[in-house]
Amino acid sequence: MEKVIKKKIETELSPIFFCIKNESHKHKASKNLNTHFNITVVSKKFDNTSQIQRHRIIYQILSKELLRNIYSISINTYSKIEWKNYNKNIPDTPICCNNTN
């Protein structure tokens, strides 16, 4: 699933920076599955767009995967300037209520 997400995001958004973390192991029900992801995308295509618009773009790109394979996705999107101002830090995903760690 990670490879599919990576390919789709890279093809559609030509990111300046892209990071995907498979966090399925942090969730009780999906220890051996690929269902929980955290993605960070920095793209020029996010210039002059709101966070809502950016998330809609990601949801559109991953629409099939979201319907079939992805249970949870944490999305962090930035323009190039925002990423620089954010000091290039990837935010942590909130702890899941079903976390067994």
pLDDT at 78: 94
**CATH (one of 3.55.50.30, 3.60.70.12, 2.40.50.140, 3.30.300.90) for 2-85:** 3.30.300.90
What confidence score (pLDDT) does residue 93 get? Answer: 62
Instruction: Determine the pLDDT at residue 98.
Output: 53
Confidence of residue 69 (pLDDT cuts 50, 70, 90): confident
What is the bridge-based pairing of β-strands 17-22 and 72-78?
A: unpaired
Domain segments of the chain: what residues?
2-85
Strands (DSSP E) along the chain, which ranges?
17-22, 36-42, 72-78
Task: Give the tens place of pLDDT for each residue, 37-59.
Answer: 889 999 999 999 999 999 999 99
Q: Determine contact, residues 58/77, Cβ cutoff 8 Å.
A: yes
Contacts 24+ apart (CB under 8 A), 66-70: 69/1, 69/34, 69/35, 70/1, 70/35, 70/36, 70/37
In angstroms, the CA 85 to CA 32 distance is 37
